[in-house]
Every structure is written in C-alpha cells, then in structure tokens.
Structure 1
Amino acid sequence: MKKCNACLSVIDNEESLICSKCYQHYHESCIQSTFGSASLTDITNWMCPDCQPRNENADNTPIRPNLKSKQIRDENVNRRRGGTVVNVQPLTPITVVEVREIVKSEIKDLLKHLNDTIASFVNIELKSIKEDISQVKESMSFLNDKYESFKTDLTEKFNTLTELRKENSHLKSTVQDLSTRINSMEQQARANNVEIQSLPEHKGENLVSTVINLSKVISCDISENQIHHATRIAKRDTNSKRPKSIVVQFNSPRTRDTFLAASIMYNKANPNEKLNSNLLGIGGAKENVYVVEHLSPTNKYLHAAARKKAKELNYKFVWVRRGRIFMRKSETSDYKYIRDLETLDSLS
C-alpha cells in the first residue's frame, strides 16, 4: 500500500510520482498544487523538492497536498468528532510571539508544577514536624506533671524537715535539761560521800579502819557508826597503774564536810608532809593520798577537762565545792563557775 509523502494519504489507482533519489511516492495533484506543472517536465529523473538541489533563491516551502481533490483519511491525521471527518489544516510557520506565548505557558506550567511539588514536600515535612512537636508537647506535659508532683513532695518533705528540726531542737533542749537534772540528782546522791585517791591496795585490807585511822591523822573525830559504807570502785582507765579509789559514805553531809575540811586544813598546815601512805601506817613506797568530793561521772569528766584546760591557759586554781567546779587564774582574779563544756571552751 502506497502513501503520498506529502499528504500521507493512500494512493488509490491514481497516477503518482516517484522521487529518483529518495523513492518516496507523491500525488501529482500534491506536486502541482505546490509548484505548478513546470516541475513535472522530466518525470524520469524527477526529484522531490526535499531532494532537489537548492540555490540562494530557493525557499523551503513544503509540498502542499491537494485538499480540494482528495480528503485526508489517514488515522494519524484525521480526527473524528461526532462521526464526521475533520480536515487537518496545513502547517503554518510559527511566529516569535507564539513562541514566547508557548514558552510562557510552559514556564507557567513548570512553575505551577514546581510550586505544587514544593508545597507537597513542605506539607509532608510540616506534618512530620507537627507530629514531633506534638510528641514534645506530650513529653513536656509529662515532665511538667512529674515536676509539679516532685515539687509538691519536696514541699511536704521540707515542711516535715522543718518540723523535725523544731522537734529535734526541743528534744535536745529536753535532753540537756534532763541530763542536767540527772547529773544534779546523781551528785546529790553523793552528798554524804568522799573519794580517797591513790591509797595503795592490800589484800585483806579493812577500809573502815583505814578511814578511821585517816581521820585521826587529820584530827577529825570520826567514829565507826558515822561510816555507812566504804569500798573501792573500778577504774575508768583499765590501763592506769594507780590504785582503785575508795568511796566512803558517811551518815550525813555535815560529817562529810567536816572530814573534807579537816583534810584540806592538814595539807595546808603541813605543805612538806601532806597526807601520804606512810602516815597511815601502810608499808612500802611513800604515796601521796588525796581526799576529794565524790563526783558524778559527768562532773568527774568536767573536772578532768577543767584541769587540762587550766594547764593550757595557765589557770592557777581548780577546785570543787559541793559538786560544783570552779577555776581562777590568779589570787586576785575572779573565779569562773564551770557549768559545762561550752563554758569551759569559752575561757581565754
């Protein structure tokens, strides 16, 4: 089946021309309508306008099909609308204005497509960001709830701690007061007692007889009936080599005070021969003997601390009177009543 290379329609029993160079078929009517009959003078060596040599005056006018004598029926060219055949108009040159309009239209479509793509991409990313922000908000809300709960708990615990501090302060004050009262009661229970220190120990010793013998040395008339009890007490420092102290309980504080005063007066009257073991008839090496008040454990610890402090601060006198401890730096200075360790620490 032959087709005209000009109009692209089928050549049906119609004379046609064949290009001697490209061998394409053409309707004679299509050639004549474009170039006239002058172009068909030599049919044997005829060349189609596309293959003919061109000169400077030659134009590039394409071959026009003869639309009056023949309808275009090819399915690639014809368009059917409502069952009728619509003839395709011949191609015409495109102007610069039309090119601009086409370019503008393409750019407009490209920009629209680009905007739609960007908008779609931005919407997708924004959706992801919104989801992330929503999750962050949920996390922040959760953390805020936890913070508020923690803050409430902390406030409650702070209030509880404040109350506990107040209660602790009150308890400390109560304990201090009770300790003072207990110490006072313990010291009061020792109001009839004296403590004899550094007296050498002997197996089978009679402490009551020793006390009566001591009272004779210091010129204090004490009978056995005035002595309720006499015993040695355990040492606080088990490593100490000093003998155990003797606690003597008299029948009254008056008897105790008389015995203490007599021992003090004796030592003052005999500075070179103070109370010692030889005066009491105890053999062995000569050992000084001390008669002091029987202090409670708290007062005894405070008395030892006061003596140590006196050495550090050059205090000359430290003494005990009726269970109370006093210190004096010199003969002319005022005495200090040592109530507790805080009072001792405040000395200078």
Structure 2
Amino acid sequence: MSSNCAACGDLIRDLYYMECSQCTKRFDLICVNVSKAIYDEYAARQKNNRLCPSCTSALPRGDNTTTPARGLLAIHDTDTYTRESDNVNTSRGSKPRTTKPKIGEDKPPNTDLMELIAELRYLRQEVKEVKQQNTDIKQQVSTISETLSQTLNEHSQQLRNAELEICSLKNTVDQLQQKLATQQQVGMRKSLEISGVAETNGENLSHILITASKKIGVELSESDIDEIARIGPKSAKSPNNSPKNQTPRPIVAKLTRKLKRDELIKSAKTRRLTSEHLVDGQITPVFFNERLTKENRQLFREARARTKDYEFRYCWVRNGGIFVRKADGKPAIRIFDFVALDQRVGPSKHPENTEHAIP
C-alpha cells in the first residue's frame, strides 16, 4: 500500500522505505540516508526495530547514541551501528538535494504553461460542446428526415389513390356516356330520316311522307305520324330567293309504332324512290334511313368513308347499330366507336377530315 514520507511528504512508490516500529511512520531511504544496497543487507529484526527521531527523543536519556546526530532513525538494539557510518556528521548533507526539494518550498510557477493548459481545457470544453451540438443536430435532422419521408410516402399513396379514383371515375363517366348514348338511340327507335327532298315554302311534310310511303307500297295515315319536321340550320337564301346550298335539310318523322317505321325503311331499300310527284323542281333520289344520334351520325359517316378506302363492300345501320362487311360471305362487324373503327376497318387516310365527336 503506497503512503507519503513523513519527512519530505513525497509519495513512496516502492517497497524501499523504513517504518518506525513505534509510531509506524514511514520514511524513504533518501531521508534516512540509507542506500538500497544497505537496506537489502538489513535483517528483518533491524528493519522492524527502528525508531524515528520523534520516538527516539521521547526515550529516557542515557547515552548519546540515541541523539538525532547519530542518524535520522536509530536502531533500538545493541548492534544498531554495525553497518552505519561511525561519524554520522560526515554523511550529513550528502543527501541529493536536487532531487528532493525542502518541505513547503514553492516551485516557481510557469505562467505560459499554466495559460496553455487553461486554454487547452477551454478548447476541450468547446470541442465537447460542439460534439454535443452535432449530436443534437444529427438527431434533429434524422427526425426531420423521417418525418419528411413519412409525409412523402403518405402523399405518394394519396396520389396513387387519387389516380386510381380518377381512372375509376373516367371509366364510370365513359360507361354513363355510353349508356346515355344508347338510351338516346333507343329513344329514336320509332323515328326515321328522309333525305333528298327539296325544301319549298309552305310545304306539307306529313303529305310528303304519306305520298312517299304510297310510292314504296306502304299504307301510312296521319294517325301514324307523331311528329315531323326538318332538322338542322336553315340554308341561306340567294338574291333570287333560292337556297345557296343545293343539299336540302333532312326530314325527321317520329311514328307512333316502330313496326311501321321498320316497314317503311325495308320497303325503301327494295324500291327506288325519287322526289317526282313529291315536290316541284329537279328530280332527285330520296332515301329512308333510321334516325341516329349526332355521335352515331358522325361515326356512320366516317365508317362509310373508310369502307370505301379499305374496299369493304357493305356498310349499313340496323336498329341504331352500325355494321360493316368486307365481302359476301364474310361476317358482319359491329362498330361501336372510333376505336373499334380503327381496329376493325383501319385508321383514317384523311385524318384532317375526321371528327371524333364520340367521347
């Protein structure tokens, strides 16, 4: 166990020391003026029976062998001085004073070194604080990064959900529009369209329809006609009061029975009908067709143009549906929209004239 020298106060770091057998104070070998070689030659009895100067001076006076002049520590035995010097005074002062400063002696302070140490301590504290700040910043950045990542993931999921919802809504709108167009076409199942009849002032459209029906062999009366009128914008008049556009507006008639309409259309296909005896003026061909919605009329017009371009032999309308056939013996193809027309017939060769009005 380490302890301090009772004489100089320095720490005794090894086993080379002398201990007073009475007060148990310890002294290093320099202070008792004993070399390590002599210490090694001491017997255990000699080492354990030594007294320090204080304990020696407290002994009863007898001879001068116990005075401090004989040595810093005295051996409490008859052969005390067998290995020590006969004249202790000759060895007094031989102790190296350069290695052991006096007790209480102040060393001159090194101001620059102290300032440097203080500065290093301050710098060390600052570095520690900076490290702590960096740790806090890293934690904050990590928290912000996790929050941003979570927010981005939530927004991405919301966008995906919105895209899916938009796609679903588009499909729903397309279905509703298709359903609406179908219902509109169903609503026209009793109507027919008559084209090729010139317009005249004060014309009687019911009389024209009844007369035309008789010419193709179908009996029609006023009670069979629910509504009849020309559709489309009226043609502009020239200075001589004749239409500039030679193509007259079609006549649309809604009958009270679908069977009567189908009979008229079927008979008109088997017999050639003209405007003779219907209206005055130039004789022109007259056609009876099913009435179509605006979208289906545009689709039918484009289908007829493409069947000519791609050498399809037939293109017709039946019960509001548009059909094409490549040649005799080939199956009929139903055309629902422009996409089906592109796929089943072919893309338009004149895209500048194509009107894709169907949504």
The residue number in structure 1 matching 2:18 is none
Query: Relative to 1, partners in 2 of residues 1:236 and 1:210: Cα closer, same or farther, differing over 3 Å?
Result: closer
**Aligned twin of 1:254:** 259
**Take 1:241 and 1:291, find their aligned partners in 2: how far apart are those partners?**
19
Q: 1:221 and 1:144, CA in 2 relative to 1: closer, same or farther beyond 3 A?
A: same
**Paired residues of 1:217 and 1:280 also in contact (CA < 8 A):** no
Give the match for residue 308 of structure 1. 305
Other-structure match for 2:209:
211
* CA distance 1:139–1:207, shift in 2 (3 Å): farther
Letter in 2 for 1:161: L
**Which runs of structure 2 are paired with 1:99-178 in the superposition (5 Å)?**
137-178=135-176
Is 1:320 the counterpart of 2:317 in the alignment?
Answer: yes
Q: Which is further off, 115-124 or 171-180?
A: 115-124
TM-score by length of structure 1 reads: 0.56
Q: Bigger radius of gyration, 1 or 2?
A: 1
Match of 1:336 in 2: 333
Change (3 A) 1:212 1:145: same
Residue identity in the other structure for 1:151:
S
- Give the secondary structure class of the aligned counterpart of 1:161: helix
Quote the offset at 1:320 in angstroms.
0.4
Q: For 2:342, which of 328, 338, 345 is the aligned residue?
A: 345
Q: Cα offset for 1:334?
A: 1.6
Give 1:341 shift.
2.7
Contact 1:235 1:245 in 2 (8 A): no
Deviations 1:277-327 (A, max 9, x none): 3x2442334433321101123322322232233233222211001111100
* Residues in 1 aligned to 2:155 and 2:306: alpha-carbon distance in whole angstroms: 43
Amino acid at match of 1:257: D
Question: Quick check: 2:218–2:267 contact (8 Å CA) kept in 1?
Answer: yes
Cα deviation per residue 1:184-212 (whole Å; 9 max; x = unaligned)?
22122111110112322222111101111
Matched, 1:243 2:254: no
Q: Return the alpha-carbon distance in structure 2 between the equivalents of residues 247 and 123 of structure 1.
A: 104
Counterpart CA distance in 1 for 2:231 and 2:221 is: 23
How far apart are the structure 1 equivalents of 2:117 and 2:163?
Answer: 65
- What CA distance in whole angstroms lies between the structure 1 residues aligned with 2:209 and 2:248? 16
Aligned to 1:71: none
Displacement, 1:161?
2.5
Q: How many Å apart are 1:150 and its aligned residue?
A: 2.2
Output the amino acid matched with 2:188. Answer: R
Deviation at 1:266, TM superposition (A): 0.7
CA RMSD of aligned residues (A): 3.4
Structure 1 unaligned blocks of 5 or more: 1-111, 268-274
In 2: Cα distance, 1:258 partner to 1:224 partner? 16
Do the aligned partners of 2:190 and 2:255 also contact (CA within 8 Å) in 1?
A: yes
| Compared CA separation, residues 125 and 207, structure 1 to 2 (3 A) | farther
Residue 268 of structure 2: which of 263, 284, 292 is its match? 263
> Aligned match of 2:224 in 223, 226, 230?
226
Cα distance in 1 between the residues matched to 2:245 and 2:116? 98
Distance in 2 (alpha carbons) for counterparts of 1:237 and 1:145? 75
The one-letter amino acid paired with 2:216 is: I
1:217, distance to aligned residue in structure 2 (A):
2.1
1:142-190 CA deviation, whole Å, 9 max, x = no partner?
4433332222222222222333333333323332332232222212211
Cα separation, 2, equivalents of 1:242 and 1:113? 117
Secondary structure of residue in 2 paired with 1:282: coil
TM-score (norm 2): 0.54
Q: Which ranges in structure 2 are unaligned for 5 or more consecutive residues?
A: 1-109, 237-243, 346-359
Distance 1:236 1:132 in 2: 88
